[in-house]
Amino acid sequence: MTRVAVIDRAFCKPDKCSLECIRFCPVNRSRKVKAIELSADGKHAVINENTCIGCGICVKKCPFNAISIVNLPDELEKFTVHRYGENMFKLYGLPPLTLGGILGVIGRNGSGKTTTVKILSGQLKPNLGNYANPPDWDKILRAFRGTEVNAYLQKLANGSLKTAVKPQYIEAARRVLKGSVRELLEKADERGLLKEVVEKTGISGIMGRDVRELSGGELQKLLVSAVLMKNADAYFFDEPFSYLDVRERVRVASAIREFLNPSKVYVMIVEHDLMILDYVSDYIAVLYGEPGVYGIASKPYGVRSGVNFYLEGYLPAENIRIRKEPIRFRISVADRSKHPEEYPILKWGNLWKAYPSSGFKLIVEEGEVHPGEVLGILGPNGIGKSTFISMLANVVKPDKGEVLVGTDKISYKPQEVSPSIFGFETVKDNLASASKDAVDPTTWLYDELTRRLGLNKMLDRNVRELSGGELQKLAVAVTLARDADVYLLDEPSAYLDVEERISVARLIRRIVEEKRKAAIVVEHDLLLQNYVSDKIMVFTGRPGVEGVALKPTDIRTGFNNLLKQLDITVRRDHETGRPRINKPGSYLDREQKSRGEYYLPD
């Protein structure tokens, strides 16, 4: 067996602990060559993987959960692709990027998806695990001889392959890019497709805007459009659908398929929204392993089978179980919204709000939310969802109508999350400010919220060191930990993987049901909305001009109304029951539309 030992240097803080990991190591007491000791600079512990016996004592003794030791079969070592350094993350294998179809990649955060993108796009040269003395391309190509990815790497090595990459975290682009949308796209346009791409992705209305003024969804579409205009041989999209509503996700997916011919160029998409990944991909590769420790790339599967195998947690080609339990979505269109005996926590009449400066107006139909209930909000970007939430929170006053029953105890998570929204430096202090129970290991809140979201491993981390996904989980946790009557969460799933999205959905339901409070969730992932919501509120109209918020309805009616507006039909997978988007104009698409059943027909 091979021991993969990983010390997360962001977590390891020898100046704040008694170094029991070193003192209690049995190898250190019996051998001259120590298994674990302090680095030369004194900033972190280092494990000698040749000496370490994998007893796990150091893992248990570390107060910051900085050490992980995993035993792997020796056969895997010959598939080592990259390692960042001593005791750091290790990647085994690469998904086969070939011509003829779009490759979708799915896996948990920290399993190596972004590392894979960097290697295949030429941003990172694989070192085959030899980080001290990286090999040249001749040795790298010999290591991949006989594999499907070898031909691709040969082109990458001789410089005949040009790549274009849409990065994962779009917030960084806002800080780096300068100028108007038109100026940036004109610079990026190498294929003479400016007019066609802008029209297809729906950003013609923002061409004169400065990039720093764009919303998250607008910035996302700008970056995708810029990549589509590049004259490249391989295109990579790392989470290109975050912050986009359902209509825009389908629009962007259609644009990728229209402007990139997978028979002539390589296309790879990393995404956590299973419905849209299923829709846009031709085949699927799964990255599995221990997040932050090691990742393994699976063989390619057909798109439907690949998603189903991932959810089931078993990969037949590898004959390996990647998860103890399968992921079961609560896919139902039954009415879960019966609270006749309880007085509503929030109740509003017909509301009307206008913004003369922009010309936008919002009309809201009456509705209410009861204790123990989750109201899901769906609709296009720029349709007034945030304005509606602000009126409920009494931050914005309606021009007509009023909130009939309200509360001042509202906890709100904004759409875009950055370190600046937190009041304290460390994860622990921010959680403790929301609730002392969130940092007390003896409480159910700690177990359900802090531990399940993996925040217990980063309590001493500075929020400015966190990734986008880690910031998102912290923002959700802080919002739900507060003592409030109503929890408002705007896109809580952005940058989270499938397992984390399910954990967040379960957490929302547990807190709402046990505390007898209410939650309003703005979310574009239909799977998550179906899982978490009791009622659905659909926003319709013309984005940026007029929004109409329909009264809350049951799930079936709400989803059907939304998809009818979008002209999209969704069917059930006959094996798992999960929703799948029909291809436009297909037999099932036409048949469901003729019956008026746009969402999960019986």
Residues contacting residue 485 through CB under 8 Å, at least 6 positions apart? 345, 407, 409, 410, 517, 518
pLDDT at 457: 81
- Kindly tell me if the per-residue pLDDT of 19 is higher than 60: yes
- Kindly tell me if the per-residue pLDDT of 157 is higher than 80: yes
User: What is the residue-averaged pLDDT of the chain?
Assistant: 89
Render pLDDT for 31-90 as a digit per residue (tens, 0 to 9). 788 899 988 888 888 888 888 888 889 988 888 878 888 777 777 888 899 998 888 889
* CA dist., res. 583 & res. 593, Å (int): 12
- Kindly tell me if the per-residue pLDDT of 403 is higher than 70: yes
- Kindly tell me if the per-residue pLDDT of 368 is higher than 80: yes
Residue in 156, 127, 535, 189 with CA at minimum distance from that of residue 346: 535
Query: Domains of the chain: which residue ranges?
Result: 2-72, 567-602
Q: What's the pLDDT band for 162 if we cut at 50, 70, 90? A: very high
- The correct CATH number of 2-72 out of 3.40.50.1010, 3.30.70.20, 3.40.50.720, 2.40.50.140 is 3.30.70.20
pLDDT at 333: 56
- Kindly tell me if the per-residue pLDDT of 233 is higher than 90: yes
pLDDT at 348: 92
Average pLDDT over residues 288-313: 92
* CA dist., res. 577 & res. 311, Å (int): 12
- 341 burial type by CB count under 10 A (0-12 exposed, 13-18 middle, 19+ buried): exposed
* CA dist., res. 177 & res. 156, Å (int): 27
- Kindly tell me if the per-residue pLDDT of 361 is higher than 80: yes
CB distance 94 to 268 below 8 Å:
no
Q: Collapse the DSSP code of 346 into the 3-class scheme (helix H, G, I; strand E, B; otherwise coil) and give the result.
A: strand
- Kindly tell me if the per-residue pLDDT of 291 is higher than 90: no
Average pLDDT over residues 334-342: 56
CB distance 266 to 234 below 8 Å:
yes
Q: Collapse the DSSP code of 98 into the 3-class scheme (helix H, G, I; strand E, B; otherwise coil) and give the result.
A: coil
